[in-house]
Amino acid sequence: MTPVSTRLVRLLNMVPYLKANPSITYAEAAADLGVSRKQLQQDLDQLWMCGLPGYGPGDLIDFEFSGDTIKVTFSAGMDEPLRLTSPEATGLLVALRALIDIPGVVDPQAALSAIAKIESAAGTVSHDHTHAAAAVEERAPIESDTAAAVRAAVRDGRALCIEYYSASRDQLSSRIVDPIRVVLVGDHSYLHAWARDADGVRLFRLDRIVEASVLDQVAVPPEPAVQAPPDTSLFDADPALPAATLLLAPAASWMFEYYPMRILEELPDGYHKAVITYASEDWMSRVLLGFGADVAVLAPESLVARVRRGAAAALAAYADLTG
C-alpha cells in the first residue's frame, strides 16, 4: 500500500510533467513516473476531480485523451509556482512551528528549512535578509532516536521493533509492529500501528516508546486497518457533559489508558492533574471512591462534596461493623 504522502507528491508533480510533455503515451508516462499503467489511470481519475474552489466546469483540472495519449487542457494553476497570501503563509508558519516540537510527525530540520523559505517568499523579512539568515541558522530541536526511527518506518513502510512502557502494568514489553501513521490526540503524538502480538490495531504513545529500531521487513498491516481511521474515542470528550478535575497519585497513572482523561499538568514526584467528563455524578463519585487516597477530586465543588459524604458514610459503616 503506497503511503498517502507519497501519492500526494506524485499527483502534485504529474500536472506540470504532463503539461511539459503534451500528448505523451500512457506507457511513456507510467515509465517516467515509476508507476503501473493501472496506477497512472487511477491517478488521472483522482486529478480529474481536483481544482479551484467552485469545482465546476473551468475550475477542475481537465485532460484530453486521444487514442493512447494524454494531454492536459486545463491545469487549474497546478503548473504555476505556489503563491501564498499573507494569511495562508502565517497559518503555515504557525502550524510548522507547532509541529516541530511534536515528536515523530515531521523532520525538525526540514520543517525549519521550510519555515525560512516561507518567511522569505512571503516577504516577512527585511531587505538585508537578516531575518532569513537568522531563520536558516536557527537550531532545530534535537529529535530523539526513537522519534526519528518511528518517522522513518512510517515513511518507508518498514516494520518496527519497539520497547514500550505500559503504565497499566508498570513494565516494559518488546513488540514488533507494522506502522500505519503518526496521529495527534490532545497534547500527545501516537504511533497508529498493527501490533503483531495482539493481532490488532493499537495506539502507542510516542513518549512511552523507550526504544525503537527499524527492521529490514516490509510493514504489512491488513488493508482494512490501513483504510480505517484510528479509533480515538477513548480520548474524545463531549463538551456538553460536566467535567471533573482530579489529582492523581503515581499509583493511579494507569487510569490514563482506560479512561477518557486529558492531562492538564504534570506535577513533581509523578503526580498529575487531569480532567475527565462524566454523565452521572452519582456514578462518578462511586468510581472515585474506589481509588481511595490515590485520586483526589479538585472540582467541581458539588462532586467534591458528594465524594466527601460518600467517604464519611463508608467510614461510619466500618465503625459500626467494628462495634
What CATH number does the domain containing 56 carry? Answer: 1.10.10.10
The sign of the CA dihedral 305, 310, 313, 314 is negative
Last residue of a domain, one of 177, 202, 232: 232
- Residue 131: per-residue pLDDT: 47
Residue pair 163/174 in contact by the 8 Å Cβ criterion: yes
pLDDT of residue 140: 59
Q: Do 310 and 244 share a structural domain?
A: yes
Does residue 179 fall inside a structural domain?
A: yes
- Based on the domain organization, do 13 and 70 belong to the same domain? yes
Q: Is residue 152 part of a domain?
A: yes
| 275 and 306 inside one domain | yes
* Shared-domain flag, residues 227 and 242: no
> Residues 6 or more apart from 44 whose CB is under 8 A from it?
14, 63, 70
What pLDDT shows up at residue 16?
87
Answer whether residue 81 is part of any domain: no
Whether 228 and 205 share a structural domain: yes
226 and 253 both lie in a single domain:
no
Q: Is residue 79 included in any domain, yes or no?
A: no
**pLDDT computed for residue 169 by the predictor:** 59
Q: What share of the chain is helix, strand, coil (3-state, %, to 5)?
A: 45, 25, 30
Residues 220 and 241 grouped into a single domain: no
**Domain assignment of residue 258, yes or no:** yes
One-letter amino acid of 55 = Y
Classify residue 241: in a domain, yes or no. yes
Phi/psi zone of residue 186: left (φ > 0), alpha (ψ -120 to 50 degrees), beta? left
**Residue at a domain's end among 206, 232, 258:** 232
Enclosing domain of residue 199: 146-232
Within a domain: residue 220?
A: yes
Cis amide linkage into residue 300, ω under 30° from 0: yes
Beta strands in the chain (DSSP E): 24-25, 62-66, 69-74, 158-166, 171-185, 188-195, 200-205, 209-218, 243-248, 261-266, 272-277, 295-299
232, 247, 270: which is the final residue of a domain? 232
Same domain (yes/no): 101, 125:
yes
Whether residues 273 and 304 fall in one domain: yes
3-state SS string over 273-284?
Answer: EEEEECCCHHHH
The reply to whether 243 and 291 lie within a common domain is: yes
Residues of the chain with pLDDT under 70: 1-5, 54-58, 81-82, 101-102, 122-141, 167-170, 186-187, 231-240, 323
pLDDT at 129: 45
The residues that bridge with 166 in the sheet, in sequence order, are: 171
For residues 217 and 243, membership in a common domain is answered with no
Whole-angstrom Cα distance, residue 227 to residue 1? 10
Enter the pTM of the model.
Answer: 0.51
Number of domains in the chain: 4
| 80 occurs within a structural domain | no
Q: With residue 198 as reference, give the H or E element that holds it.
A: none
Phi, psi of 198 (to 5 degrees): -90, -10
Residues 245 and 314 in one domain: yes
In a 10 Å sphere around its CB, with 0-12 CB exposed, 13-18 middle and 19+ buried, how is residue 319 labelled? exposed
Element (H, E) at 312: helix 301-321
Q: For residues 137 and 116, what is the distance between their CA atoms, to the nearest angstrom?
A: 9
